[in-house]
Structure 1
Amino acid sequence: MTLEPLCDWDDAFANMKHVANSGELPAFWAARAAAYRADLQAGGQRLELDIPYGNHPREKLDIVWPDDTPRGIAVFVHGGFWMRLEKGHWTDFAEGARAKGWAVCLPSYTLAPEARIHEITAQIGRAISTAAGLVDGPIRLSGHSAGGHLATRMLCSDTPLPGPVFERIAHTLSISGLHDLRPLLHTAMNRTLNLDLEEARAESAVLAQPAAAAPLTCWVGGGERPEFIRQTRLLTDMWAGLDVPVRCEVEGDHNHFTIIEGLREPDSPITAAFVDSVTQDQLQHEAGADT
């Protein structure tokens, strides 16, 4: 027997429907990122674009370099429900980490329906591995929305990352991440994603065994759709029970789009969560204080 969903799952994930004028944001992001790239280049700062990590036209990444020798590599994976946008929309979101001394990697990936989600997961693994070969030091992972899914998938027991790359991951920040993909089976967007139950389960971090107890922070805006807050707390609760040092942060009344704006600022709390030092003991202490 097939049970009918009790929730309007299309509405649960409909961020733009619930944020005024959000349809204008992709063009705004693209223009602002292009201006940032132009400013970097005019100032003589190092910016490498379209570094290939595979053979597909979208298998390319950008690296925004700091002024001095990098502290390590910070990776930001963009969102768009795996079917929209590309790395060029987000270059200026590298500024907070870049200003704090990190080389920032922004990868694109093949979009659905051309690629299935498990194939995109594999692509991001190759992108991170390529970036790791270009920059020494620790790796910080982050991603927004679908990018949060892709970042946390790197931490699962079936990670696509080779061992030496995985061992360099110092911390992962999932921002408004999608960690339980099963509800997407009930959405209109699944006509593009082509998820089935087997893939939805396999690609859900909440159902996965972590590969190691690597520190994880799950971050979400207090004004987001309730489903994104639920998914953020769900991964925190599930992985805390698997001895992962994990922290959950619900920040203010930010919506799904304003929550990432702080990444552009070196002194913001979300940039600190992305690239500042954090120990497993600190995360465990903060997680205990939040409960």
Structure 2
Amino acid sequence: MPKRDWDDAFANMAHVEGSEKLPTFWADRAAAYRASGVRVDEDIRYGPAERELMDIVWPDGAPKGLAVFVHGGFWIRMDKSHWTDLAEGARANGWAVALPQYTLAPEARISQMTRQVASAIALAADKVDGPIRLAGHSAGGHLVSRMVCVDSPLLTPVLDRVEHVLSLSGLHDLRPLMWTAMNDLLKLDEEEACAESAALLRPHERANVTAWVGGGERPEFIRQTKLLAMIWDGLDVPIREVIEGDHNHFTVLESLKDANSPLTRAFVGLNG
């Protein structure tokens, strides 16, 4: 049996004061953003499952390309409607921003979620020309990292357009999750945990990744970020590690709304 308390290692909300109010706050703020006059195409269906839906937030002019943000929630909670306002930084810089959701555990295995996100990206790529840049938070960071592994579920014409992946507080070695209470829902076994862990897989030759985490996050999330950066750097692909200030797992997201923040610049490839 593991000696470490792995439930505590992943317990972000238990270590952030007032975090129980955050889901309602996020949902209300995102709803206000959608009502603000920004053009948002909601509930675009990319597959037959109930949750296979995405939104696209459009810039004021012709898009420079497609930016995709994949939400987190440990693969068991949350949906696209909590995060619409996080598109603003990329949108203000001229990018169309797709926000997909996916079937949650226990209705789906993580491997199925990986394929669903690839399907969402493929449909969004049909709707928006130009380069593609991917970002995801927490479980979403895992899902976008999987898009640039050697066994990527993206077809070559789409993968060839992916310029960069931003894994924000991402989970890249899923094996410790087998020792958490969450695994009652995730149902990870050794085979799937290894097959779905980007840090245990060879990156695609086109992979270009930034692994970003808050300096005030749980140590396990910092370890997961360092792990991907260390292993993929040794496999000779472009990868950058950023530990930002004292941000926790939730505040690290906030600057995606700022068109000029370092995080937004990493997302959509701005210089300077």
TM-score (norm 1): 0.92
| Corresponding residue to 1:11 among 8, 13, 20 | 8
Mapping of 1:66-145 within 5 angstroms?
66-145=59-138
| Corresponding residue to 2:227 among 225, 234, 250 | 234
> Residue 217 of structure 2 aligns with which residue?
224
Q: CA deviation at 1:215?
A: 1.3
Q: CA deviation at 1:277?
A: 4.2
State the alpha-carbon separation in 2 of the partners of residues 214 and 192 from structure 1. Answer: 31
| Corresponding residue to 2:36 among 39, 55, 69 | 39
Using the aligned pairs only, state the percent identity: 64
> Residue 177 of structure 2 aligns with which residue?
184
Matched, 1:205 2:202: no
Q: CA deviation at 1:214?
A: 2.2
State the alpha-carbon separation in 2 of the partners of residues 160 and 60 from structure 1. Answer: 18
Contact 1:34 1:88 in 2 (8 A): yes
Structure 1 residue matching 2:3: 3-state secondary structure: coil
| Corresponding residue to 1:170 among 142, 163, 181 | 163
Matched, 1:21 2:18: yes
Structure 2 residue matching 1:227: 3-state secondary structure: helix
Contact 2:57 2:98 in 1 (8 A): yes
Residue identity matched to 1:140? R
> Residue 155 of structure 1 aligns with which residue?
148
Matched, 1:53 2:30: no
Structure 2 residue matching 1:199: 3-state secondary structure: helix
TM-score (norm 2): 0.98
Deviations 1:193-249 (A, max 9, x none): 010110000000000011214210000000000000000000000000111101000
Structure 2 residue matching 1:105: 3-state secondary structure: strand
Residue identity matched to 1:170? E
Q: How many residues align?
A: 272
Mapping of 1:202-281 within 5 angstroms?
202-277=195-270
Q: Where do 5+ consecutive residues of structure 1 fail to align?
A: 283-291
State the alpha-carbon separation in 1 of the partners of residues 259 and 115 from structure 2. Answer: 30
Residue identity matched to 1:207? L
Residue identity matched to 2:17? A
State the alpha-carbon separation in 2 of the partners of residues 23 and 273 from structure 1. Answer: 29
Structure 1 residue matching 2:127: 3-state secondary structure: coil
Which runs of structure 1 show a deviation greater than 2 angstroms over 4 or more consecutive aligned residues? Answer: none
Q: Where do 5+ consecutive residues of structure 2 fail to align?
A: none
